[in-house]
Amino acid sequence: MKGSCRFSLPVTVAATAIIYIYFSTLFVFIDQWFGLTSSPGIMNAVVFTAVALMCIFNYSVAIFTDPGRVPSTFVPDIEDAENPIHEIKRKSGDLRYCQKCSHYKPPRAHHCRVCRRCVLRMDHHCIWMNNCVGHANYKVFFVFIVYAVIACIYSLVLLVGSLTIDDEKDEQQSEGSFRTVYVISGLLLVPLSLALSVLLGWHIYLILRNKTTIEYHEGVRAMWLAEKGGDVYSHPYDLGVYENLILLLGPNILCWLCPTSRYIGSGLRFHTAYDKTAGASTSK
């Protein structure tokens, strides 16, 4: 589904940074180190361009893909034997109902104050995309982060490598206009590489546990309350590492880094650990 997302200042800044890093890497770092007409230069230019195109494509898809809307006709069926878990309000014990949207909220759905609607399997609202990260665009968001990390580290390696060239002509050129390019690129690439690597590691952890960012923070409190009451808290959607990877990245490992998401389902119901328990008990 396509949303009505508009470009914002953070999106413009991010797009400008991507374009600047691409052209500076191609026409300064690679050209200074290898020369764009040499075989190593052409090879690095082709590989980096491919990574950059995948990064830009996934970023664009993540921006313009609707993260998932709750159907206006959705009503939880509490008598559904195949759906043994229903999320309820913490205090009243009622089924979760959004007063602002005037409909029930499916499991893992949350209301976004920025988008002003409920989002299926909401992870967070990303200002750099001017869009929520949710059920329908989470994978493409994750794939974008993967390619962004690869592109930043690749560009940083080329930047450092091009600085090791001791040719006098190159030194004279770098003292002029290239010096500004190197300084700006370094100020962009170093913090971006660190920040995006941390973000990638964080979402790898979430994928392995089949959690969203919201569920992680809710789980910390739930774990504390469970331990306080002498119980043990377990995340109901954690099906094991392999099952979690398949559910979030797709059944074909060769497509894990491709922006495909036809396998994700409706986003109104998710497999839980209770499904296996219920199936085991009925088979006895």
What positions carry a catalytic annotation?
A: 126
Q: d(Cα 210, Cα 203) in Å, to the nearest integer?
A: 10
197, 208 Cβ separation under 8 angstroms: no
Whether 160 contacts 271, CB under 8 Å: no
Q: What is the dihedral of CA 240, 246, 249, 252, to 10 degrees?
A: 150
Can you spell out the DSSP letters for 90-128? TTT-PBPEETTTTEEPPTT-EEETTTTEEETT--EEETT
Contact 170, 32 (CB under 8 A): yes
Closest CA to 28 of 198, 177, 203: 177
Residue 126: both structure tokens together: 């990303």
Would you put residue 95 in left (φ > 0), alpha (ψ -120 to 50) or beta?
beta
* Partners of 103 in beta bridges: 98
120 touches 106 (CB < 8 A):
yes
